[in-house]
Structure 1
Amino acid sequence: MRLLFWVAILFGGAVGLALFTQFNQSNLVLFYPPYRVELSLNLALALLLLAFFVVWTILGTARHLSEMPARAAAYRERSRMNRAQAALRESIENLFAGRFARAERTAREAQAWPEQAQTAALIGARAAHRMQETERRDAWMAQVTDPEREQARLVSMAELLVDARDAEGALETIAQLQAQGARQIHVQRIALRAHQHLKNWTEVLRLARSLEKRNALHPVLALRLKQLACEALLEERRHDVQGLQDFWRSLSTDERRAARIAEPAARYFAALGRQDEARKIVEDALKVNWDSRLVLRYAECAEPGRALPQIQQAEKWLTQHPVDADLYFTLGVLCLGEKLWGKAQSSFERALKYADADLQRRLRVRAHLALAKMFEETERPEEAQRHYRESAILAA
């Protein structure tokens, strides 16, 4: 539609010009003594228009020639920028592909364009780090001086330091980030690894909880880290009753019910003479996580002469786990402590019956030894000798 409009205007102008020149009888006379030049007005207008186009062409050509050096410089700059951008892309691809020497070389080529020189330096630093070239890595990082790229430099440096097992250096770098107000999830992951290397279990537990809450850590990994931290922190407090109680109360319900956390906690509480607390820990954990370590630990939570409630609880569990060899062994130990010889003997014998010959060999050895000691106490030496012999054979 627009094209038709301009074609109509062009044809209208042509018709108007033709009519103007046909009916225009005017003349133009130029006096330049002693000369007199007489021209038709149409010819004068045509010559004037021609002169305008000639002058315009000459001026345009002169301007174009004067701008040629600047145009050539701009072309060279564009070519250099395009080559640098291509080198930066190639450097990133080589880094991801594991070709670290080529990545470092192309990163150096990408620095030909100053605008991306410091970005290329970050890539070069990572490539040098992968080749374990610490000095070159630090030299690359030293080139990143732009305040806008300071955060990228610090995060990258912290990650590379913790990867090189320089946990203290990584934490110092993270402290600089946090001083600037940075609280990214990725930085917390790096800090978690650094604290894990340094065995700062309090911080490991705090960061694992924080990352798990934000779905930034796989639940299995978060649970494993929390278990490691709790095991270490429980061990640190194993001789301090108050400290052990305070730390145990600080744990969440899910953490207290984890077998790897509840088992050492029950052991330490029992060792400090807090059998009731140890028993509650094991019973609460077994409600949601049936674990052989907790079942075997339950026997140590009994006070001498007061194990009847635990025997009753073990018998209740047997209705749910009728072929659990660990549970029968625990029940036998509890009955042995209360001198219920017949029940203890039947429990140990059932433990031997249901225990796997390969996977629970240690349990079978302990059951034979427990039977041997029981028969010694009840003055049945022949049977005691038989079980001692069986335990020795299994242990060998």
Structure 2
Amino acid sequence: MRAWFWTLLVFVAAVALALVLRDHSGNVLIIAQPWRIELSLTLAVLLILACFVILYIVLRVLAWIGGGPERFRSWRSLRSQKREHELLESGWINVLEGRYTEAEKDLSKLLGKTRSGSRKVLAGLASARASHHLGEFERRDQALALARDSAGSDPRLREAAATVAAEMYLDQNRPQDALVLLQPLQDANSRYFHATRLLLRAHRQLRNDDRVYELTRLLARRGVLEKTEALQLIETSAAARLQAGGPDGFKAIWGDLKSDERTLPDIALAGAAVQQSQGNIDEASRILEAALQVRLEPRLLNAYSQCPPEHVARRLSKAELWLKANPDDSALLAALGNLCLTGELWGQGEHYLLRSMKLRSDMRIHALLGNLYDRLGRADDAARHWRLASGVAGVLPTLPVSRALPAADMRGDPTLIDVGRLPQARVLRDMPAPVAASAADFAGDEFSDSVAAAVLAPEPPPPDTPSSATAGEAGLDEYFDSAPIPGVDVSQTSDRPARGSGQN
């Protein structure tokens, strides 16, 4: 628009000048001894304009020539900046795509060339992230130190370096180092939500439940955390606070919770446990019932089914109302069975437990049935359900009735011979083969005594029977091959006298 305005202005001036000069008949006399120059006014004006234009062009050319070195330096700087931008862009793209080795090459070149503090900070942080993902933590720390030094007094660059370093420390499970960097950022600006989320993560790793609860509340109020994630964090942190606070801190912690948060399973279990530890069974019942009205969670039902016998009737009536609306809930049926066992309502308890077992074969249900049948004196049924409970648990297999292996038959062993050191021992040749022993027919000490008597009882030698030593040698000669081994001098390898040596 400005160019069009100046063009129009020049044309208007030209037209006005032409109109003025056309009707003007004046002359211009220039006397410069010894010359006398006389020109018309129109020609004089045109010459002046031409001289002005020429002088302007000459001066611009001289200025362009004089600014050559500076222009060359500027061109080199622009070219260097372009290359640095390309290296920085390529390095960050490689980091985001996971090509960390290529990213380190580009960023190392940039760090060695650039003189810009901001580009050096960005390149250092990108290089630190690449080294972190490669597991080279020493190089990462060097890159982070370079980025912090290059940031100088620029607050934004210093915050960026601190945030990136804290995030990597949290990935490395170093929450205390991350807290040192993040806490100043949180104190300076509470609306710095990314730093607040990192601070929440650090306190979760340190199990600082009070700070986790406070930061979760803050982020949920600002809309940074999703409702599901916030409720999960509030549930775990508030339950831990209730357990740590005990009866003394229960009132303050419980009063700080919203009504929908008190019905969360972990919070309800922790609150009921605190009340039950103080003997406030009715208050514990109300806490669990409020949570169970929202959802029949198995852990809550299990806790609700454990109470003193005097409170069984009230809890049974409440649970039976829930059963009308949820007749096929296995956990609810198991809780009713447990309550019946506590109140010694054996028949009703068996009915509920068998219904629950039809819906789901659960270890706890089998264990409860085993306890029930054991109390009723039905030992076989109790043992069967206890075995099923161990099988459902997956730790122990369900084994058949244990039986011992049968003893080995040693009657044909050639080494069982009479020796001179035990003159009264006899070979177990005439005894019957042993049978498999079991826990049912084990005879105890009587069987051991009979075996010992049979082994040690003397047996009179039959007539015309050679001596025991001779019979032993004959038996060995019968069993073992007495032929000499070819190429072996038996007299040098045996401590027994050679046969027939006495005859020679």
TM-score interval w.r.t. the shorter chain? 0.7 to 0.9
The correspondence for 1:176, drawn from 181, 184, 187, is 184
Q: Alpha carbon RMSD of aligned pairs, Å? A: 3.1
Residue number among 139, 144, 168 corresponding to 2:151 in the alignment = 144
Distance 1:244 1:365, change over 3 A: farther
Residue 328 (structure 2) pairs with residue 320 (structure 1): no
> Helix, strand or coil: the match of 1:28?
strand
1:271-323 deviations in Å (ceiling 9; x for gaps): 553322221121111011111221121121x3223422112112212211222
Q: Distance in 1 between matches of 2:140 and 2:83?
A: 28
Instruction: Write the distance in 2 (CA, Å) between the matches of 1:316 and 1:104.
Output: 67
1:232 to 2:249 alignment: no
The code of the aligned residue for 2:337 comes to G
1:126 aligns to what? 129
1:154 pairs, out of 162, 170, 173, with 162
- Aligned positions of 1:38-57 closer than 5 A: 38-41=37-40, 52-57=52-57
Match status 1:389 vs 2:384: yes
Provide Cα deviations, 1:345-386, integer angstroms capped at 9, x if missing partner: 333333333x313xxx2133123213213313xxxxxx3422
Shift of the 15–365 alpha-carbon distance from structure 1 to 2, 3 Å rule, reads same
Within 1, Cα distance between the matches of 2:201 and 2:263? 25
Q: Structure 2: which 5+ residue stretches go unaligned?
A: 391-397, 399-504
Alignment partners' CA distance in 2, 1:58 and 1:325: 101
Q: Provide closer, same or farther for how the CA distance between residues 305 and 41 of structure 1 changes in structure 2, counting only shifts above 3 A.
A: closer
Alignment partner, residue 298 of structure 1: 304
- For 2:478, the equivalent position in structure 1 comes to none
Superposed CA offset, 1:231-279 (max 9, x none): 4334435xx4334555444433222211233234434543553322221
CA distance in 2, matches of 1:83, 1:151: 27
Decide which of 99, 114, 117 is 2:116's aligned counterpart. 114
Cα distance in 2 for partners of 1:122, 1:63 equals 44
Per the TM alignment, residue 185 of structure 1 is displaced from its structure 2 partner at its CA by 1.7
Q: TM-score, normalising length from structure 1? A: 0.82
Measure how far apart 1:41 and its partner are.
4.3
Q: Does the CA contact (< 8 Å) of 1:364 and 1:391 recur in 2? A: no
- TM-score scaled by length of structure 2: 0.66
Correspondence 1:214 to 2:222: yes
Cα distance in 1, alignment partners of residues 164 and 131 from structure 2? 13
Match for 1:319: what amino acid?
Answer: K
Equivalence for 1:380: none
Q: Which blocks of at least 5 consecutive residues in structure 1 are unaligned? A: 377-382
Q: Does 1:334 align with 2:336?
A: no
Structure-2 residue corresponding to 1:362: 363
TM superposition shift of 1:182: 4.6
Distance 1:86 1:173, change over 3 A: same
How far apart are the structure 1 equivalents of 2:9 and 2:58?
A: 33
Assess, with a 3 A threshold, how the Cα gap between structure 1 residues 264 and 18 changes in structure 2: closer, same or farther: same
> Is 2:341–2:372's contact at 8 Å kept on the other side of the alignment?
no
For 2:345 and 2:252, the matched residues in 1 are separated by 37
SS in 1 for 2:95: helix
In the alignment, structure 1 residue 167 sits paired with structure 2 residue 175: yes
Structure 2 residue aligned with 1:285: 291
Q: Give the Cα separation in 2 of the matches to 1:45 and 1:322.
A: 112
Q: 2:210 aligns with which of 202, 212, 227?
A: 202
More helix by percentage: 1
Percent identical across equivalent pairs? 26
Q: Tell me what 2:261 maps to.
A: 255
Q: Distance in 1 between matches of 2:37 and 2:161?
A: 82
